[in-house]
Each structure stands twice: as C-alpha cells, then as structure tokens.
C-alpha cells in the first residue's frame, strides 16, 4: 500500500482540454472537440478511483471549460485563486488540475510563480479525447492522484504518460504522441508505476549496506564471489551449474523486460538458490526498474544496474 500524508481531502479543478474532449468516432484522435465533458463525467470514467482514494474525499470544481490554446489571464487568475483557496484548507492535501496539453506548461509555470505552494498542485491532461477507444485521460488522472497523495510531492508538477515533470522544465514536445511532454536535459522528476511513485535521484542513504565496513577490514581475496549473468535467447543452464560447482556465493541476473528469465536459466537459478547461493534479479533494460514482485527470485536494490547490484550483493554477503 502506498504511504500517504495525513490529509483527508483532495481537490480536482477542471479547466477543459482534450481530456474532456469528445469525437464522433472512437478511432478519431485528432478531429475532436476539446472541453466537452464536465468534471463529474470525467472522474466517473476513471476505473479504480475510489480504491485509489482509500476512503479520502475528492472535491471537484469546474473552474473553466476551454481548449487550452485559448487560455487567458482571467482564467489563470481564477484558477490560481481556487488553488490558493483549496491549499489553505488544513484537511486538503493537494490539488489536481485537469488541463489541455497545448498550454499546460504555461499554466504550470504561472501557478508555480504566483503560488509557490508547499503542498502539491498536479496538472494532468490527455492526448486522446475521452471518447477514444483507448483514452489516456483516466490513467493520467489516477497517476496524478498517486502523485498528489505522495508524501514527497511538493510545488507545481505535471503528470502525463507515467512521467512526473516540474513546472519550470516541463514542455510539450510532440503534437500527437501519448508521452508528449519532456523536461529536456533535466529529465523527469519521477515516474508512476502501477500506482506507485518513484522519484528520480534516490538519496545516497538509500544505498547504505549494513556490513559494508567489513570490505575494508577483510582481505580482498576473501570477499564473497558474486557473478553477473544475463538472460537472453538460447540462455544455457550449464553456466549456473558450473559456477555453483566452482563455489560461487552469489549470482546477479540481468533479466529481460520486467525481470523475466529464460526458463532454462530460471530452473538452474532456482536450484542454485535452494543450495544456498544468493540470487538477485535486475532488468537488462537500461532505463526503469522491475515493477511488482517477481515470483521466484528476489529483486536487486531498485535503481542499481546489474554491475552495481553485484557489488551490493557482495557487500550484503559479508556477514
């Protein structure tokens, strides 16, 4: 379960955009009219919303209903005042603003500049209208709620396609793609994965090892032997058996995708694990990390690649 702050209420302020847009046909992603659905309709189309709220209240308000290409200063002023009103309530934890993608970055920066809020204000949007066969709005709303409820969330943020951006850097970089936003060289502030928020730039304290000091006291020749293996097409179990027979103490496996392992290799690794060899699993994908609990093997520490995970496991084994 995701840890959240001790607030009981969250506010959604709707302003229109494609997220509230409708088209004549479900296959039409471009010839639609933005800002057609009201905030209640928008939220009632989000499956799992009540579960995500975990008993908290959601207060909704239609602040505007426009295509954000037509955003104006008067609407900005009203929106900022409604945000300020909500943020001032002691039981309100933060605000989600639904917005069109076209000028989202301007509104985000305006709100950051005039409110400089300590509590989070999270703008979200959609690239496809609500009537699309696979609309992206409902998932973006759920992700925005996960972010606004996260204890680490601060200031004005934008959430789209599973990425979290800060107001200063966020920019629409693509006219059509679902992940249309970027923070340029700064990169995203974090990601939302299966309803959980993962912030970029994990603090160094997250990687402290209980027994790491022993590495300096113990002769290097006595450090536990830990090897790296990769899962790939045609992976062969004999490498695992040979290593176990030779006395390996730990194996770190770079699995495919979300931590899957070739069946031949998995059988040998499970066998090695049952013989006392410590086995840890990473992904061979250079970005992201394993999401969810793998069935058989333990995951390596999040945020470390396979080679750094090898060091982590070696230090862990120095008991």
Residues that bind ligand SIN (CB under 6 A): 16-18, 34, 67-69, 100-102, 125, 127
Give the CA angle between residues 301, 303, 257 to the nearest 5°: 90
Closest separation between CB of residue 135 and ligand SIN, Å? 12
Residue with the shortest CB distance to ligand SIN = 100
Task: Please confirm, yes or no, whether 78 is among the known catalytic residues.
Answer: no
Nearest distance, CB of residue 16 and ligand SIN, angstroms: 6
| CA-closest candidate to residue 42, choices 66, 25, 21, 57 | 21
Q: For the CB of residue 187, give the shortest distance to ligand SIN in the complex, in Å.
A: 22
The first and second tokens of residue 54, run together, are: 């975990």
Residue with tokens 């209980």: 210
* Closer CB to ligand SIN, 16 or 190, in the complex: 16
Residue (101 or 231) nearer to ligand SIN, CB? 101
Tell me how far apart the alpha carbons of residues 85 and 273 are, in angstroms, rounded to a whole number: 56
- Is the CB of 101 or the CB of 283 nearer to ligand SIN? 101
- The answer to whether 101 and 180 are in contact (CB under 8 A) is yes
Residue 117 phi, psi (nearest 5): -75, 145
Q: How many CB atoms lie within 10 A of CB 263?
A: 11
The catalytically annotated residue of 4, 15, 18, 260 is 18
Nearer residue to ligand SIN within complex by CB, 72 or 236: 72
> To the nearest whole angstrom, how small is the minimum distance from the Cβ of residue 114 to ligand SIN?
21
User: Least CB distance from residue 157 to ligand SIN, whole Å?
Assistant: 17
17 or 117: CB nearest ligand SIN: 17
Q: Give catalytic residue positions.
A: 18
């Amino acid at each position: 379960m995701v840890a959240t702050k001790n607030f009981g209420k969250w506010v959604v302020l709707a302003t229109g955009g494609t997220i509230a847009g409708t088209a004549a046909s479900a296959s039409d992603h471009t010839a639609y009219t933005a800002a057609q659905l009201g905030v209640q309709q928008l939220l009632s189309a989000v499956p799992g919303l009540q579960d995500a709220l975990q008993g908290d209240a959601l207060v909704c308000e239609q602040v505007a209903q426009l295509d954000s290409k037509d955003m104006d200063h008067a609407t900005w002023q009203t929106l900022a005042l409604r945000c300020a009103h909500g943020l001032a309530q002691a039981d309100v934890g933060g605000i989600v603003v639904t917005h069109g993608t076209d000028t989202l970055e301007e509104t985000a920066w305006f709100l950051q500049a005039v409110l400089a809020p300590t509590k989070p204000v999270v703008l979200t949007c959609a690239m496809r209208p609500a009537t699309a066969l696979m609309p992206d709005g409902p998932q973006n709303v759920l992700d925005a709620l996960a972010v606004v409820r996260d204890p680490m969330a601060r200031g004005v943020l934008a959430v789209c396609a599973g990425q979290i951006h800060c107001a200063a850097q966020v920019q629409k970089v693509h006219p059509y793609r679902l992940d249309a936003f970027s923070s340029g060289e700064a990169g995203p502030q974090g990601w939302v994965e299966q309803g959980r928020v993962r912030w970029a730039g994990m603090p160094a304290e997250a990687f402290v090892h209980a027994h790491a000091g022993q590495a300096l006291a113990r002769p290097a020749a006595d450090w536990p032997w830990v090897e790296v293996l990769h899962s790939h097409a045609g992976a062969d179990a004999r490498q695992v058996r040979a290593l176990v027979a030779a006395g390996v103490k730990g194996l770190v496996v770079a699995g495919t995708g979300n931590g899957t392992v070739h069946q031949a290799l998995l059988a040998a690794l499970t066998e090695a694990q049952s013989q006392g060899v410590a086995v840890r699993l990473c992904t061979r994908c250079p970005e992201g990390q394993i999401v969810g609990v793998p069935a058989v093997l333990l995951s390596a520490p999040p945020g470390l690649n396979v080679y750094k995970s090898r060091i982590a496991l070696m230090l862990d084994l120095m008991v």
